[in-house]
């Protein structure tokens, strides 16, 4: 392939990766808006993301196997068309349709999306000579990382321009990108000729059930209340299905000529290590979701203002990914991942033990810089490079889809673990703030405290959803309602007593905000320690890899 062809291939596949990756985050800021537009609850609304994740995970190995059989250019083009069709239908439901139609449209979109990332990565990896493969895959990691982190920002921008009532435009923007990709890929060469092999339908069906059951169970599993959670009907039946189907799947795949998932991947020690590291990277990756909230609490800025720090982290990650790709060509993937995990360990420890106790923009930026560099060096490039070198070129797409699938399972588990550190810390906030407040001693009243069943739900909700910038106002509203309930009717001192008490709260503003900040930071501290532990595990498994991957 000549230089011009290399550039054309890069544009086609990087555009696809960018479009698919950015879609995973662009829906996040619109989720509440879409939920409200259909007048449904938040628990139901979250399915617009859950169902996409499940369908995407199922689609990846099947689409990749189809590309190995029938040709990657052909299946990649079909995946782009399906993704564009799903995006169009998602957008149309904003004006004509209902939530059920949106869910069906998201499934269609996910089926197309599942074929984009692994096929594009395989094509890029195989289109370049081995001495330049790391650099090419570095661009993939850079584009994917930046797109994933910029997705929420782009989603918010589209909503601000089009208006919340026109949320469909967050999906419509995929249409022109898809058209450009289809036009540009006309001159690309097919990766291989179609073969007489057929898709392993039985194995594909069983694998789909396995993926859906394990990912749905893990989505609903609460790791902090494991015993109670695993007994839930939304968890244990699906875990049971998963356990039963695994040996069935192995038996089926051993007796087919061309299995949908090559079981030899799991018998090769180096591939097993690569898959384990991919799972660890996926689990640690989702800690990024909580960076905005952490930044808002540390810097004492209002909710929704911390997203720009994710952009700063994306810059560091975007620089590290292509740099890591170039260094892989010069050194090794093992060396780059070692550097990456060390950066992550330093960054998470710095966040946990310094930033939480010495909050400030410079300190949080230093921590995010190390974490961003760590992500850029570990997130995709070296793992994709290793996988491509461990398998034959004919199996590259299905091998990379297996890698992505394992990482997706880690991504699914991570939020359930990470968010509970914050939830557990949040439960301590009312009690810690109550220790600062003076007691409400109203003559003739009965009882006092921070909690009362007679407080209006709106005030209780305001207290529960407060951040460090609004907690004092929430405490004032809460205390005011408490005094109104406790004050005997006709008390001539009611107004002056309330005003005096609220003034005491205002004088304690710094102490209240500090109590809120410190308490919530304790949860973030534990979260970063957990992320550090994951990075240490990743480092250990990385050091177990061979120094040089065998070339194929």
Would 535 be classed as within a structural domain? no
The pLDDT score that the predictor gives to residue 353 is: 92
| Confidence check: pLDDT of 241 > 90 | yes
- Structure-block tokens of residue 134: 């790391």
Distances (CA, A) of 169 to 102, 173, 297: 14, 6, 32
* Domains in the chain, number: 2
With b for 16 or more beta-carbon neighbours within 10 A and e for fewer, the 38-74 pattern comes to: beeeeeebebbebbbbbbbbbbbbbbbbbbbbbbbbe
Give the residue-averaged pLDDT of 359-375: 89
| Mean pLDDT, residues 106-134 | 83
| Whole-number pLDDT of residue 449 | 47
pLDDT reading at 179 higher than 80? yes
pLDDT value for 195:
57
Token pair recorded at residue 397 = 């797409």
Give CA separation, 96 vs 35, 93, 126, in Å. Answer: 15, 5, 43
Distance CA 337, CA 356 (A): 27
What CA–CA distances, in Å, run from 109 to 77, 212, 342, 354, 404? 14, 17, 37, 43, 18
Q: What is the per-residue pLDDT across 332-366, written as a single tens digit (0 to 9) for each?
A: 889 999 999 999 999 999 999 998 888 888 898 99
Considering the domain boundaries, does residue 307 fall inside one?
no
Looking at residue 488, its pLDDT comes to 64
Task: Report the candidate in 304, 71, 88 with the shortest Cα–Cα distance to residue 178.
Answer: 88
Q: Which residue has the higher pLDDT, 378 or 491?
A: 378
* Band of pLDDT at residue 448, cut at 50, 70 and 90: very low
Residue 344 confidence (pLDDT): 93
What is the predicted pLDDT for the residue at 461? 65
Would you place residue 4 in the very low, low, confident or very high pLDDT band (cuts 50, 70, 90)? low
Give the CA distances from residue 383 to residues 193, 281, 332, 337, in Å, rounded to whole numbers and listed in that order. 28, 10, 11, 9
- What's the confidence (pLDDT) of residue 430? 84
User: Residue 86's pLDDT is what?
Assistant: 95
Query: Which position has the token pair 């790391």?
Result: 134
Higher pLDDT, 248 or 427: 248
Last residue of a domain, one of 163, 189, 215: 189
The mean pLDDT value of the chain amounts to: 82
Length of the chain measured in residues: 552
What backbone phi and psi angles, to 5 degrees, belong to 465? -100, 10
| For residue 371, pLDDT beyond 50 | yes
**Res. 28: pLDDT tops 60:** yes
With pLDDT > 70 as the criterion, what percentage of the chain qualifies? 88
For the four alpha carbons of 401, 406, 407 and 413, in that order, the dihedral sign comes to positive
Any domain includes 383: no
Distance CA(493)–CA(477), nearest Å, equals: 19
In a domain? residue 6: yes
Looking at 174, 189, 204, the residue that finishes a domain is 189
Task: Tell me how far apart the terminal alpha carbons of the chain are, to the nearest angstrom.
Answer: 18
Is residue 480 in some structural domain? yes
Burial class (CB in 10 A: 0-12, 13-18, 19+), 510: exposed
In a domain, 134, yes or no: yes
pLDDT at 305: 62
| pLDDT at residue number 82 | 96
- Cβ of 180: how many Cβ atoms within 10 Å? 14
pLDDT at 452: 47
User: What does the pLDDT look like over 131-175, one tens digit per residue?
Assistant: 777 777 777 777 877 787 777 778 878 888 888 888 899 999 999
On whether residue 138 sits in a domain, the answer given is yes
| Cβ–Cβ under 8 Å, residues 167 and 159 | yes
What is the maximal distance between C-alpha atoms in the chain?
A: 92
Structure tokens at 216: 């749905």
Burial call 480-504: b when 16+ CB within 10 Å, e when fewer: bbbbeebbeeeeeeeeebbeebbee
Pick 550 or 79 by higher pLDDT: 79
Tell me the CA distances in angstroms from 41 to 45, 99, 408, 502, one per residue in order: 6, 11, 26, 35
- For residue 382, give the nearest of 427, 322, 294, 432 by alpha carbon: 322
Q: Taking 50 as the threshold, does the pLDDT of residue 451 lie above it?
A: no
Would you give the DSSP letter of residue 493? T
CA atoms within 13 A on the CB side of 430: 15
122 close to 400: Cβ distance less than 8 angstroms: yes
- 117 has pLDDT over 80: yes
Neighbours of 435 (CB within 10 A): 9
Confidence of residue 549 (pLDDT cuts 50, 70, 90): low
Report whether pLDDT(538) > 90: yes
Band of residue 2 on the pLDDT scale cut at 50, 70, 90: low
40-85 per-position pLDDT tens digit: 876 677 788 878 888 888 888 888 888 878 888 889 999 999 999 9
What pLDDT, on the 0 to 100 scale, is given for residue 491? 65
Which residue did the predictor score with more confidence, 376 or 109?
A: 109
pLDDT tens sequence across 426-443: 888 888 888 888 777 665
Q: Is the pLDDT of residue 548 over 80?
A: no
Long-range contacts of 516-519 (CB under 8 A, 24+ apart): 516/297, 516/429, 516/432, 516/433, 516/466, 516/468, 516/471, 517/297, 517/298, 517/300, 517/359, 517/468, 518/432, 519/425, 519/426, 519/428, 519/429, 519/432
pLDDT in tens, 460-481: 666 666 778 888 888 888 888 7
Residue at a domain's end among 189, 217, 246: 189
Domain span at 130: 1-189
- CATH number for the domain that contains residue 124: 1.20.1250.20
Q: 284-336: per-residue pLDDT in tens?
A: 876 776 777 788 888 887 765 666 777 778 788 888 888 888 888 888 889 99
Any domain includes 444: yes
């Amino acid at each position: 392939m000549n230089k011009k062809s290399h550039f054309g291939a890069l544009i086609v596949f990087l555009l696809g990766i960018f479009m698919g990756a950015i879609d995973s985050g662009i829906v996040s800021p619109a989720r509440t808006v879409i939920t409200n537009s259909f007048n449904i609850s938040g628990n139901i609304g979250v399915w617009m993301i859950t169902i996409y994740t499940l369908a995407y995970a199922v689609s990846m190995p099947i689409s990749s196997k189809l590309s190995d059989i029938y040709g990657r250019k052909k299946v990649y083009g079909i995946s782009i068309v399906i993704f564009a069709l799903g995006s169009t239908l998602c957008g149309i439901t904003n004006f004509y349709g209902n939530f059920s139609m949106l869910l069906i449209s998201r499934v269609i979109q996910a089926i197309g999306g599942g074929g984009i990332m692994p096929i594009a990565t395989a094509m890029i990896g195989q289109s370049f000579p081995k001495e330049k493969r790391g650099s090419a895959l570095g661009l993939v990691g850079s584009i994917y990382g930046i797109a994933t982190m910029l997705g929420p920002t782009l989603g918010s921008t589209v909503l601000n321009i089009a208006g919340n009532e026109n949320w469909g435009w967050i999906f419509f923007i995929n249409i022109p990108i898809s058209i450009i990709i289809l036009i540009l890929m006309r001159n690309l060469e097919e990766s291989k000729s179609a073969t007489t092999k057929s898709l392993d339908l039985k194995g594909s069906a069983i694998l789909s059930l396995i993926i859906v059951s394990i990912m749905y169970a893990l989505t609903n599993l609460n790791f902090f209340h494991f015993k109670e959670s695993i007994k839930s009907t939304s968890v244990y039946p699906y875990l049971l299905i998963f356990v039963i189907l695994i040996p069935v799947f192995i038996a089926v795949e051993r007796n087919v000529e061309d299995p949908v998932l090559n079981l030899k991947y799991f018998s090769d020690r180096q591939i097993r290590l690569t898959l384990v590291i991919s799972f660890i990277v996926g689990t640690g990756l989702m800690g990024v979701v909580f960076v905005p909230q952490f930044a808002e609490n540390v810097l004492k800025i209002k909710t929704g203002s911390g997203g720009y720090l994710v952009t700063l982290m994306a810059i560091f990650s975007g620089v590290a990914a292509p740099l890591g790709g170039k260094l892989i060509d010069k050194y090794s993937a093992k060396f780059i991942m070692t550097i990456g995990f060390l950066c992550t360990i330093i960054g998470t420890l710095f966040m946990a033990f310094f930033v939480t106790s010495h909050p400030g923009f410079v300190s949080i930026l230093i921590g995010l810089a190390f974490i961003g560099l760590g992500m850029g060096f570990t997130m995709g490039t070296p793992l994709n490079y290793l996988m491509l070198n461990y398998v034959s070129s004919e199996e590259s797409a299905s091998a990379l889809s297996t890698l992505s699938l394992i990482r997706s399972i880690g991504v699914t588990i991570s939020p359930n673990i990470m968010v509970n550190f914050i939830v557990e810390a949040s439960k301590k906030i009312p009690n810690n703030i109550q220790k600062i407040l003076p007691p409400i001693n109203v003559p003739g009243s009965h009882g006092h405290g921070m909690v009362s069943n007679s407080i209006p739900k709106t005030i209780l909700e305001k207290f529960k959803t407060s951040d460090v910038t609004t907690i004092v106002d929430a405490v004032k509203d809460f205390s005011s309602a408490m005094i109104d309930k406790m004050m005997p009717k006709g008390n001539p001192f009611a107004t002056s007593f309330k005003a005096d008490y609220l003034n005491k709260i205002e004088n304690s503003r710094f102490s209240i905000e500090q109590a809120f900040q410190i308490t919530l930071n304790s949860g973030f501290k534990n979260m970063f320690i957990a992320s550090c532990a994951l990075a240490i595990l990743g480092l250990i498994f990385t050091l177990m890899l061979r120094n040089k991957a065998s070339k194929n």
